[in-house]
Structure 1
Amino acid sequence: MGGKTAVRVTTAAAVAAALTVLAAGCGTTAATGDRAAGRQQDPGAATAPASPAPAPSPTAFDRNAAQTDLDRSVAAAGLSVAAGKRRETAAPSGQPLSAKDAVVARMVKCSVTWQSLGGGKSEAAGTGAGDERAKYDAVVTELGRRGWQVDHPAREEPLDEERGEGAAVHQVLEKRGWTLRAGYYDMSGIRMLSFQGFEDACESRFSEDELALLERQGEG
């Protein structure tokens, strides 16, 4: 989940119901009594304007749309989408999920992710190793082209503050009720790229204890 920084929850826009206006089919035929009297309808009489067509509802930005943005941004940076896909954890047959895996199963439904050590295998021929930071920047740039707005500018800090070793870069982007945390980590030559996005309204349903549980590595 990346740190203890409080996440601003963006209220999702309510989906408006489309209203269909049906016009009554009348108003151009004269009354029977008027016909008998030989009267004709005044051709200059005002006619009610046609009702405008209802505006189309905006396309929902759901988990599939967010994952598509992330996958295409990763691919545009020359990285393998498959290399960083989440590996789903399943309990042995007949066994209940652990507390951590139960939380993960709930969160998967409203989250997207791409994460890989070494940045994954490059799909671009001739691309050398060791340029993961440039690839990280390329993914963030492509996300920006797809409408993700930078909420927190990139900040860089050492992974080991006491020794001043390693490097960590964090950035937060937002789009239509989703928050995406981007991270690049380099420690002793081991590099990791991490992009994790969450639907704000869904994430707010998890308690602090549940979020802390996800941060504990190696627990079942």
Structure 2
Amino acid sequence: MRKARWAAAAAGVVLLVAGCSGAKDDKSGASRSGSSAAPAGAGGSLGAGAATKEIVEAAAAAGFTGEPSGGIPASLERCGVSWQADVKKAADPQKSYAGTLAALKKGGWKQARELKQQGSVITSLEKSGWTLRAIYRDRAESFLVISFEAVDNSAECENVFAEELAKKRS
């Protein structure tokens, strides 16, 4: 199931990065290692470890605890991160989501767009060649998911995602 999830995530990144100009919207993977090294020659100077640190610190300051979500192939660890909030431990998940966004913006992330639809809010932020999607998905009172996914938009990472997608298809 995780492999299928990552194939879908890689496909989303490849299609959105290749198909969008300017502000990019994306799907991305999770980094379990927290590697801070950006790919050699990558356009994103932030790095996966730094992106993860910024997400975790902003979320913690807003009242969230959480962890990396899913398992990511080693080849994608340097190009994308994903962190999911433990919404059951947050006093007010909606307020903590808004607080996390505010902290990220204060830290230099610039809002690119926001989509509100059927109980979901997806906010795209950009910084240093990375695009972050903050996702608030409330389908029913018993099903609330809040996650923060970031991807390096560099050509090198686009190639890494395309290679991973090709592997999944064969």
Name the TM-score, length of structure 2 as normaliser.
Answer: 0.66
Contact 1:79–1:120 (CA under 8 A) maintained in structure 2? no
Q: Deviations over 1:139-175 (max 9, x none)?
A: 11110000001111x22111xxxxxxxx111111110
Q: Distance in 2 between matches of 1:119 and 1:208?
A: 34
Which residue matches 1:204?
158
Shift of 1:193: 0.3
Q: Tell me, yes or no, if structure 1 residue 187 matches structure 2 residue 155.
A: no
Q: 2:83 aligns with which of 111, 114, 132?
A: 114
Residue aligning to 1:178: 130
Identify the structure with bigger relative contact order (alpha carbons < 8 Å, sequence gap 6+). Answer: 2
- When residues 61 and 207 of structure 1 are mapped into structure 2, their CA distance, relative to the original with a 3 A threshold, is closer
- 1:85 pairs, out of 43, 68, 71, with 68
Distance 1:109 1:209, change over 3 A: closer
Sequence identity percentage? 26
Match of 2:43?
A: 12
5+ long unaligned stretches in structure 2 = 1-8, 23-41
* 1:61, distance to aligned residue in structure 2 (A): 2.4
The reply on whether 1:74 has 2:74 as its aligned counterpart is no
Paired residue total: 133
When Rg is computed on C-alpha atoms for both structures, the one with the higher figure is 1
Which letter does structure 1 place at the counterpart of 2:87? G
Task: Report the Cα distance in structure 1 between the residues aligned to 2:21 and 2:163, rounded to whole angstroms.
Answer: 15
Structure with greater strand share of residues = 2
The alpha-carbon deviation at position 67 of structure 1 amounts to 1.3
For the residues of structure 1 that align with 2:133 and 2:116, how far apart are their CA atoms? 14
Residue 150 in 1 paired to residue 105 in 2?
no
Residue 63 of structure 1 deviates from its aligned partner by: 1.8
Say whether the 8 Å CA contact 1:168–1:183 is kept in structure 2.
Answer: yes
Pairwise CA RMSD of aligned residues?
Answer: 2.9
Q: Give SS of 1:204's match.
A: helix
Please give the alpha-carbon distance, in whole angstroms, between the structure 2 residues aligned to 1:193 and 1:199. Answer: 21
Gap regions ≥5 residues in structure 1 = 14-59, 89-100, 159-166, 214-220
Deviations 1:120-145 (A, max 9, x none): 523xxxx3xxx322211111111000
**Superposition deviation, residue 85 in structure 1:** 2.3
Give CA deviations for 1:48-107 in whole Å, capped at 9, x if unaligned: xxxxxxxxxxxx522222111111101111111xx332354xxxxxxxxxxxx6xx3221
